[in-house]
Structure 1
Amino acid sequence: MKAIQILGDISSPKVNTNYSMPEPTPRNSEVLVRVHAAGVTGDEILWPEPYAAPSRIPGHDISGVISAFGPDYSGPLKHGQEVYAMIAADRGEGQADYVICLADEVTPKPTSISHEEAAALPIPILTAWEGLIDHGALKAGMRVLVTGASGAVGTFAVQFATQLAGAHVIALASSKNHELLRQLGAHEVLDYNASSWKSQVTDVDLVFDTVGGDVLIKSWETVKDDGAIVTVGDPAPSWAFGRGRAVESIDHPKVRHMHFILTPNAERMQQASDMIDAGTVKVLAVETFPFHKAEEAWAFARQRSRNGKVVIKFAEAENSQSSHK
């Protein structure tokens, strides 16, 4: 099978295309998916996981069809069924013709969208949902600040906060994306390039931060004394993973704060599928690259000012979006 590999090391990575990788075989209750499209998370090239994998194949977001099952599988999925999946952070290997998934990573894809569009969704959907609901304890009527609101994760955070809880959402993003964010449900939109943005935000119950760095630091000034800050900023703050106390918490001792790495959740992806097919949640714009342009796809995915989510096509899929031939 053909697959993408990340060769070298983190200091000098190289995106490589390989046309002669062995096809995996599902064992136990594993699920083998024939990949039609795989999403690219540009920062993954700086994660340790691809370099620890013997195959060196990256990728966690996929959309495709069920090709085979391990002998012990007894779930509801069927051979040939269209699915999408988020492969756990410690495994990956989704950017290939075939990939092994666990049963709780796979769910039927939304029927109203293409494989390319579906492949862009799992990580953003699950990150936004887990951050808001599990870690942010989102409740009706909350004031929620979403930073990086026009990004892949932020886009869904804005939609889920308004639709799942009727929250008052304040979106922080570049001014060029403000109208889109209003259409997605944001009640207030602020320009992160404006130095005064933090002075315009007060009494926030929950900050959902997707940016990190200086934006995360400034967001401490916007949250209530008993509020919460949840961040998925990359790189992670110095206090993440139990490595100490946030300096800002000295002045805000009651503010709950955490950084997290998402976990697969097929049930939530199915709920999101239902919302997408019902037309209540809008999906991301995608930039599709063919397999032989994988290096260009990864370079584009690492551009901070790009529009849309980058997807690599492995098999023909109908209803293709913006593409690079």
Structure 2
Amino acid sequence: MKAIQIMGDKDAPNIRLSDTLPKPDPKEREILIKVFAAGITADEVTWPELYTTSNRVPGHDISGIVEALGPEYSGSLSVGDGVFAMLRANTSQGGQAEYAIALPDEVALKPTSLSHGEAAALPIPILTAWEAIFTHAKLQKGAKVLVTGASGAVGLMLVQIASHLLGAEVTGLASPQNHARLKELGASQVLDYQSSNWEQMIDNVDAVFDTVGGAVLDRAWETVKKDGVIVTVADPPPPWAFGEGQPSQLQDHPYVKWIYFILTPSSESLEAVGALLDKGSVKPLEVKIFPVESALEAWTYAGQRGRQGKAVIKFPRQLIS
């Protein structure tokens, strides 16, 4: 089967297209998916898990159809169902291949209103936003929030879910060219992240959702209320992630809750966000589709700042409809 492989190491990754990998077979409760489209997360070339897999196939966001089911599978999916999935970071093979293996808690029926290309761009961004808002921040209706990196894939989902589902007052940080779009999607206020004093224009937010890290995260502490929460998924993570110490800002903000997390797959959450997408409550991301033969170009595009649309690879003999 055709597949993308990352050779070398994370200091000098080499992306290549292969057509020699064998088609996997589903075992036990596994689901074999014929991949129609696979999203690219450019930062994945820095993730250590990729370099411990036997075939170095990247990709965790996919959309396609169920090709076969393992002998012990007992769920509700059937062969031929259209599905989308978020594969775990430590999966034995990633999703940028004509066929991929998934576990039951990684897969849900594809939203019928979306093309496979659109669906393949969504699992990580929309599930990250969902987990940040409902599991970690436990955001309440009508809350006041700040989203950094609001025009990125995760940021766009955070803005929409917080504003449309919870009626939150959302302030987004983004480049000026993205301000109008963010307001269309539900942001109450959008500020230029390059402004020297944006943190002075925001105060008393219940939650900060940070996707940027570094100096932006440091400045965001000045916007949160006394007993608010800061949730970050920044890559690279802050120095205090994984229990490595505490934020220095606690000296001035001792009651603020601070969380860094790595996303956990959830078929239930995928089903929930799929329903929102079909209802139109949340809009999908813009995508830029590349045929698998242009995989190198797709990965280059995915790593660019200010790109218009998330990079998605489509595989041969499959139509993105």
TM range (shorter): over 0.9
Alignment of 1:25 with 2:54, yes or no, is no
Deviations 1:251-271 (A, max 9, x none): 111111011000111111111
Match runs of 1:115-194 below 5 Å: 115-194=116-195
Is the Cα contact below 8 Å between 2:132 and 2:209 reproduced in 1? yes
Counterparts of 1:175 and 1:39 in 2: how far apart (Å)? 26
TM-score by length of structure 1 reads: 0.97
Deviation at 1:56, TM superposition (A): 0.6
Deviation at 1:276, TM superposition (A): 1.1
Deviations 1:165-186 (A, max 9, x none): 1111111111111111111111
Counterparts of 1:170 and 1:185 in 2: how far apart (Å)? 10
Which residue in the other structure is 1:84 paired with?
Answer: 84
Give the aligned residue type for 1:49: E
Give the aligned residue type for 1:126: L
- Structure 2: give runs of 5+ residues left out of the alignment: none
Deviation at 1:163, TM superposition (A): 2.1
Give the aligned residue type for 1:50: L
Counterparts of 2:320 and 2:50 in 1: how far apart (Å)? 30
SS at match of 2:161: helix
Counterparts of 1:308 and 1:267 in 2: how far apart (Å)? 26
Deviation at 1:317, TM superposition (A): 2.2
Q: How many residues align?
A: 319
Deviation at 1:164, TM superposition (A): 2.2
SS at match of 1:262: coil
Match runs of 1:1-325 below 5 Å: 1-91=1-91, 93-315=94-316, 316-319=318-321
Counterparts of 1:180 and 1:278 in 2: how far apart (Å)? 20
Counterparts of 1:159 and 1:136 in 2: how far apart (Å)? 16
Deviation at 1:82, TM superposition (A): 0.5
Deviation at 1:71, TM superposition (A): 0.1
SS at match of 2:158: helix
Deviation at 1:194, TM superposition (A): 1.1
Counterparts of 2:86 and 2:161 in 1: how far apart (Å)? 19
Deviation at 1:219, TM superposition (A): 0.1
SS at match of 1:99: strand
SS at match of 2:170: strand
Deviations 1:31-65 (A, max 9, x none): 00000000000000111111110111111000000
Which residue in the other structure is 1:323 paired with?
Answer: none
Closer/same/farther in 2, CA of residues 300 and 318 from structure 1, 3 Å limit: closer
Counterparts of 1:249 and 1:22 in 2: how far apart (Å)? 52
Counterparts of 2:274 and 2:320 in 1: how far apart (Å)? 18
Residues 149-158 or 159-168, more deviating: 159-168
Q: Identity rate of aligned residues, in percent?
A: 54
Give the aligned residue type for 1:125: I
Counterparts of 2:39 and 2:320 in 1: how far apart (Å)? 16
SS at match of 2:141: coil
SS at match of 1:220: helix
Deviation at 1:141, TM superposition (A): 1.7
Counterparts of 1:169 and 1:182 in 2: how far apart (Å)? 9
Give the aligned residue type for 2:110: K
SS at match of 2:6: strand
